[in-house]
């Protein structure tokens, strides 16, 4: 089964997005490019919404969002039911986000990643499976929050 990946950035991540688009296509992933394609200033929520909606609706399996820090994109994406987004910047965080948290949207810091091998980070994330086991119960609790309006922070404690 081919993994369907949504890819979007704001103007501060457009250079990384272009590189990742080529890498992912070359590696056989089905990629849905959601913009931007310019270094002209844009608002990152507009692009995070595009990918998060498709994750929520089951049209994409995973999403990759890139802005200056990755934090803004993660905040927006996490507003959508069924989305588990995390801002990641190194191998340990990338791997653990998948193994323990079943993160389905990777948010990257376009300004902070420097010369790190971003292609390798993304491929590691896409190829890392969720460990299940004891982590399933925890992810299920996170997922259950989607069905309530106001979380009771004492629930289950």
Alpha carbon distance 43, 76 (integer Å): 11
d(CA 32, CA 20): 12
Q: Which residues of the chain have pLDDT under 50?
A: 151, 153, 157
Convert the pLDDT of each residue in 68-103 to its tens digit.
999 999 999 999 999 999 999 999 999 999 999 999
The active-site residue out of 32, 88, 100, 132 is: 100
What confidence score (pLDDT) does residue 156 get? 52
Please list the residues that pair with 33 across neighbouring strands: 7
**Structural domains in the chain plus CATH codes:** 4-146 (3.40.1400.10)
Is 135 considered catalytic here?
no
Quote the pLDDT of residue 1. 73
CA-atom Rg of the chain in angstroms:
15
For the CA atoms of 57, 111, 72, 59, what is the dihedral angle to 10 degrees? 0
Q: What is the pLDDT of residue 157?
A: 46
* Rounded-to-integer distance, Cα 43 and Cα 103, Å: 23
Q: Choose the catalytic residue: 15, 32, 67, 132.
A: 67
């Amino acid at each position: 089964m081919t993994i369907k990946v949504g890819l979007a950035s704001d103007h501060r991540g457009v250079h990384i997005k272009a590189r990742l688009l080529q890498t992912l296509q070359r590696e056989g992933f089905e990629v849905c490019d959601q913009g931007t394609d310019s270094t002209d200033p844009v608002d990152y929520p507009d692009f995070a919404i595009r990918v998060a909606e498709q994750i929520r609706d089951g049209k994409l399996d995973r999403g990759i969002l890139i802005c200056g820090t990755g934090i803004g994109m993660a905040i927006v994406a996490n507003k959508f039911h069924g989305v588990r987004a995390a801002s990641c910047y190194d191998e340990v965080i990338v791997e653990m986000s998948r193994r323990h948290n079943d993160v389905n949207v990777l948010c990257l810091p376009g300004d902070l990643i420097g010369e790190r091998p971003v292609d390798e980070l993304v491929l590691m994330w896409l190829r890392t499976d969720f460990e299940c086991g004891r982590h399933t119960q925890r992810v299920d609790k996170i997922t259950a929050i989607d069905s309530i309006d106001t979380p009771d922070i004492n629930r289950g404690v």
